Amino acid sequence: MAETSTTTYDTRGAQMFLRLSDNEIGRIAQFGEQRRFQSGQTVARAGEVGDGLMVILSGSVEVTRVEGGK
């Protein structure tokens, strides 16, 4: 029998990356501010205190991990 490899994204992707309706986005928008980022700009770093919840309205974000240093 062949082994099947699954990732956290495969099993919990829908929980980690919710799809909000326009109504839901409108409701949470009152508690924050809209910001724009340039391509390649860092929006958060592991181990640093962030600004709170981020909702990606358009575009994409690449999550990377650098080993062995800052």
Quote the pTM value.
Answer: 0.60
At a CB cut-off of 8 Å and minimum separation 6, what does 61 contact?
Answer: 43
CA 48 and chain centroid, separation:
15
Compute and round to an integer the Cα radius of gyration of the chain.
Answer: 16
What sign does the dihedral 15-10-22-31 (CA atoms) show? positive
- Each residue's pLDDT tens digit, 26-64: 999 999 999 999 999 999 988 899 888 888 899 988 888
What are the DSSP E strand ranges found in 1-70? none
pLDDT value of position 3: 63
